[in-house]
């Protein structure tokens, strides 16, 4: 089925192209939102998806290759389908187009394969090309994420600026949503990204940001970071800029090191104040760094009411920001084979290398250089007398024959050992030793505990440990241990009776005299009146 392309708005220099299922759904959502000054088109290999799209501009990719069906999650088929319609795409983009957004969901067949081809055509025509792509959720499978990574590499080399939206990060922010709501949120983020950039150009403001400003920021800038948010009420300016830098649009919300920052502030019925503009620009400048070139503009949108909207686009990073993937380290696979011995086929008749020292000529020593005739070094030095030469006679060593008489030596050794044996006296002490039985000081205590008793004691120990552990986990657990005495924790009962105040000392004393031992009741030391 062929679609006739209606003529677009001649004043619209911005085109938004949705490629594949994910990109088409995002463009359908943008079309329903009614973004100003933008022309939309959807491209897909699936004919059914094109028929239900409300967007009037439609291009069927690869009608003869796929026959109106999808690409089967194969990026190669999506790429070939786009190549089949490449002239039709080129003709559409060559009409009054200055800027193109290519939106797609990475990981599938049509979006992953066809989006880089369409973006490359736009870039070859000199059009500012911005790619807005999504990274799949983790539950979509490992193969889909691997294909998405390959698609990201192809898109990065085919566009001027690439905005990457990580669906998994969106899931972390929004929580556990249903499948329909999750993909709807992803479409809404894509639409917000395209709308934020497009309306910066389309909406005219007092301090206007036009296409040339956007072109300066986004031309050949690589991976970009974008955020957009609105706020109202007290401190609405700071709230809006903080939310913009925490937006799920930003896969990596750190804009430090950016070369260019495009900042657009839009307000409604309540006009923006100078202090609010100062707060926003200072916040962005501090976050991006002192070397970042901040291009600022503001405009009015009556639909905002009392709200203020802040859109931030940061580009020109020295190192590419995160795209949601961690590249695995490259693996080098080495095939282990049996060690085969070196086979010598030809006999070695002659040495393979000649002796480099053979036949070498004697190295001539250089003649000593004549000493310079310097006046201040002249001195009459008498030559020292040379010592007389000593005549040393060469004495050659003489060899004497040595005869070894092994038999005589052996006989002498035996006689010496016999004499030593006679001199040694041996004493046997076995008869004097008595058998001593070693007895242990304490017999081992036998505990005849049944299995049930042992299990009960183990259970009690575990309960006590758990009880102490639960107390220590509390904030005031240690303080409770410090305030409570140990005898209370061990359930030791103390005698708390108050002792008597009466004196228990006896008034009697024991005396010993000639009559014997007697008791004396008059103890002066214990008498009330000592005097």
Bigger pLDDT: 419 vs 280 = 280
The structure tokens listed for 402 are 């040595």
Question: 188 vs 390, which has greater pLDDT?
Answer: 188
Report if residue 110 sits inside a domain.
Answer: yes
Q: Measured over all CA atoms, what is the biggest interatomic distance in the chain, rounded to whole angstroms?
A: 150
Is the same domain home to 111 and 194?
Answer: yes
Residues 268, 274, 280, 282: what is their CA dihedral angle, to the nearest 10 degrees?
A: 170
* pLDDT at position 112: 93
What was the pLDDT predicted at 20? 92
Q: According to the model, what pLDDT value does residue 6 have?
A: 46
Kindly state whether residue 398 falls inside one of the protein's structural domains. Answer: no
Which residue shows structure tokens 């800027």? 99
Q: How confident is the model at residue 336 (pLDDT cuts 50, 70, 90)?
A: low
Predicted confidence at residue 362, as pLDDT, reads 53
Q: What pLDDT, on the 0 to 100 scale, is given for residue 251? A: 55
**CB under 8 Å to 106, separation ≥6 — which residues?**
112, 133, 134, 135, 136, 147, 148, 149, 151, 152, 155
169-203 pLDDT, tens digit per residue, is: 777 777 777 878 877 877 777 777 777 777 777 76
Residue ending a domain, among 319, 335, 362, is 319
**179 and 304 housed in the same domain:** no
Asked whether the predicted pLDDT for residue 120 surpasses 90, the reply is yes
CB 38 within 8 A of CB 28: no
Q: How confident is the model at residue 103 (pLDDT cuts 50, 70, 90)?
A: very high
- The answer to whether residue 376 scores a pLDDT higher than 50 is no
Q: Pairing mode, if any, of strands 14-19 and 39-44?
A: parallel
* Per-residue pLDDT at 255 exceeds 70: yes
Q: Averaged over 407-430, what is the pLDDT?
A: 59
Residue 139 sits in the same domain as residue 181:
yes
Is a pLDDT exceeding 50 seen at residue 381? no
On whether both 20 and 163 belong to a single domain, the answer is yes
Q: Examine the pLDDT at 356 and tell me if it is beyond 80.
A: no
Of 108-117, 361-370, 473-482, give the lowest mean pLDDT range: 361-370
Q: Establish if 426 belongs to a structural domain.
A: no
Say yes or no: 174 and 104 in one domain. Answer: yes
Among 285-299, 309-323, 379-393, which stretch is predicted with the lowest mean pLDDT? Answer: 379-393
Query: Looking at the structure, do residues 19 and 56 belong to the same domain, yes or no?
Result: yes
pLDDT at residue 113 in the model: 93
What is the DSSP annotation of 167-215?
HHHHHHHH-S--HHHHHHHHHHHHHHHHHHHHHHHHS--SB---HHHHH
CATH number for the domain harbouring residue 162: 3.40.50.1440
Kindly state the average pLDDT of the residues 353-379. 52
User: What is the mean predicted confidence (pLDDT) over 240-248?
Assistant: 82
Based on the fold, state whether residues 196 and 268 are members of the same structural domain: no
Query: Residue 399 above 60 pLDDT?
Result: no
User: What does the pLDDT look like over 259-278, one tens digit per residue?
Assistant: 888 888 888 888 889 999 99
Neighbours of 345 (CB within 10 A): 4
CB 62 within 8 A of CB 26: no
User: Does the structure show a pLDDT above 80 at 468?
Assistant: no
Q: What is the mean pLDDT of residues 140-155?
A: 89
**Total domain count, the chain:** 2
What average pLDDT score do residues 28-57 get?
Answer: 88
pLDDT at 49 over 80: yes
Helix 110-124 × helix 142-156 angle, to 10°: 0
Give the pLDDT band of residue 371 (cuts 50, 70, 90). low
94 occurs within a structural domain: yes
Question: What is the per-residue pLDDT for 8?
Answer: 42
Higher pLDDT, 192 or 408: 192
- The answer on 44 and 149 residing in a single domain is yes
95, pLDDT greater than 70: yes
Q: What is the pLDDT of residue 279?
A: 92
Whether the pLDDT of residue 291 is over 50: the answer is yes
Whether the model pTM is above 0.75: no
Pair type for strands 128-135 and 99-105: parallel
527 vs 242, more confident: 242
pLDDT for 415 beyond 50: yes
Please give the residue that has the higher pLDDT: either 363 or 309: 309
Read off the CATH number of the domain in which 250 is found: 3.30.1330.20
| CA gap 244, 312 in Å, rounded | 7
438 pLDDT higher than 90: no
Per-residue pLDDT, 322: 47
Distances (CA, A) of 427 to 242, 422, 423: 103, 14, 13
User: Is residue 133 situated within a structural domain?
Assistant: yes
pLDDT at 110: 92
28 and 90, same domain (yes or no): yes
Six-digit token string for 177: 């949503």
Q: Do residues 314 and 278 both lie within one domain?
A: yes
Domain limit, last residue, from 319, 339, 357: 319
C-alpha to C-alpha distance for 367 and 470, rounded to whole angstroms: 95
Domain assignment present for residue 337? The answer is no
Specify if 152 maps to a domain: yes
459: in domain = no
Query: Above 80 in pLDDT, residue 471?
Result: no
Mean pLDDT across the chain, nearest whole number? Answer: 75
Q: What is the pLDDT of residue 41?
A: 93
What's the rounded Cα separation, in Å, for the pair 215 and 35?
Answer: 20
Q: 202, 237, 265 — which closes off a domain? A: 202
Structural domain harbouring 263: 224-319
pLDDT for 207-236, tens place per residue?
Answer: 667 778 888 888 888 878 888 888 998 899
At residue 379, the pLDDT reads 46
Same domain, 88 and 228: no
**Based on the domain organization, do 133 and 243 belong to the same domain?**
no
């Amino acid at each position: 089925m062929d679609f006739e392309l209606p003529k677009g708005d001649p004043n619209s220099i911005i085109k938004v192209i949705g490629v594949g299922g994910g990109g088409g759904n995002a463009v359908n959502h943008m079309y329903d939102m009614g973004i100003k000054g933008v022309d939309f088109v959807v491209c897909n290999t699936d004919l059914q998806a094109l028929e239900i799209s409300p967007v009037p501009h439609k291009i069927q990719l690869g009608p003869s290759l796929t026959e109106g069906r999808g690409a089967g999650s194969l990026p190669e088929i999506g790429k070939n389908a786009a190549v089949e319609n490449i002239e039709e795409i080129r003709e559409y983009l060559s009409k009054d187009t200055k800027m193109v957004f290519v939106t797609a969901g990475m990981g599938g067949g049509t979006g992953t394969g066809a989006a880089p081809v369409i973006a490359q055509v736009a870039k070859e025509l000199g059009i500012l090309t911005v790619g807005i792509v999504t990274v799949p959720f983790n539950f979509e499978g490992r193969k889909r994420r691997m294909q998405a990574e390959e698609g990201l590499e192809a898109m990065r080399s085919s566009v001027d600026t690439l905005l990457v939206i990580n669906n998994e990060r969106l899931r972390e922010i929004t929580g556990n949503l249903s499948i329909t709501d999750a993909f709807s949120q992803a479409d809404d983020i894509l639409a917000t990204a395209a709308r934020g950039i497009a309306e910066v150009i389309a909406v005219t403001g007092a301090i206007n940001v036009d296409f040339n400003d956007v072109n300066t920021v986004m031309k050949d800038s690589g991976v970009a970071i974008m955020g957009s948010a609105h706020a109202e009420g007290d401190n609405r300016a700071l709230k809006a800029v903080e939310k913009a830098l925490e937006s799920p649009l930003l896969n990596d919300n750190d804009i430090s090191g950016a070369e260019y920052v495009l900042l657009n502030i839009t307000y409604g019925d309540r006009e923006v104040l100078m202090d609010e503009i100062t707060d926003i620009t200072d916040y962005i400048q501090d976050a991006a760094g002192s070397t970042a070139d901040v291009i600022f503009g503001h405009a009015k949108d009556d639909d905002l009411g009392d709200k203020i909207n802040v859109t931030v686009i940061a580009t020109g990073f020295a190192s590419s920001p995160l795209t949601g993937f961690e590249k695995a380290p490259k693996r080098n696979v080495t095939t282990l084979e049996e060690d085969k011995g070196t086979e010598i086929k030809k006999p070695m008749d002659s040495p393979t290398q000649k002796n480099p020292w053979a036949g070498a000529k004697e190295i001539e020593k250089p003649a000593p250089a004549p000493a310079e005739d310097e006046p201040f070094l002249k001195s009459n030095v008498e030559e020292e007398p040379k010592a007389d030469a000593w005549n040393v006679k060469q004495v050659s060593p003489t060899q004497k024959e040595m005869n070894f008489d092994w038999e005589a030596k052996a006989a002498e050794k035996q006689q010496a050992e016999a004499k030593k044996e006679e001199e040694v006296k041996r004493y046997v002490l076995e008869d004097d030793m008595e058998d001593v039985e070693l007895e242990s000081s304490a017999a081992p205590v036998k505990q005849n505990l049944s299995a049930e008793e042992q299990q009960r004691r183990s259970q009690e120990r575990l309960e006590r440990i758990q009880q102490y552990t639960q107390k220590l986990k509390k904030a005031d657990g240690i303080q409770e241990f410090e305030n409570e005495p140990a005898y209370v924790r061990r359930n030791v009962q103390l005698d708390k009776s108050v002792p008597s105040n009466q004196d228990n000392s006896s008034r009697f004393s024991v005396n010993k005299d000639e009559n014997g031992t007697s008791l004396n009741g008059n103890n002066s030391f214990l008498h009330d009146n000592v005097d």
